[in-house]
Amino acid sequence: MTLRTYWSSACPKCPMKSQCTPADYRRIRRWEHEAVLETMQSRLDRQLDAMTIRRRTVEHVFGTLKHWMGSTHFQTRRLGHVAAEMSLHVLAYNLKRVIRILGFAKTMRAMKLAGA
């Protein structure tokens, strides 16, 4: 993570120094991609309900998958195996959801048509 540090030589003479910092100089550290975070924060500030919507739509899925997986642990090791295990969990979640929305018969019909 690349951080850049800035400070001004004008700090000792600044009339607002006592409100800004007790140190000799105020040092400001910024991440090289800080603008990305600021852009995201401004988007969130404009859409106050964005995180509420995210919690309703996305977090429920992750909570359900975490519950199915036994809290926080994967059964496999190594990145490739863990990715495959996660993919199977996501596939199972999506299949259960489709069956609940369409019903079993329509889901089976759609899968047969897709395979033909």
Residue ranges of domains in the chain: 3-38, 56-115
pLDDT for position 42: 93
Q: Taking all residues of the chain, what is their mean pLDDT, rounded to a whole number?
A: 88
Cα–Cα dist 59/52, whole Å: 10
pLDDT for position 33: 93
Cα–Cα dist 16/5, whole Å: 21
For the whole model, what pTM was predicted? 0.51
Question: Tokens standing for 84?
Answer: 């495959």
What mean pLDDT do residues 85-96 have?
90
**In 10 A of CB 37, how many CB atoms?**
11
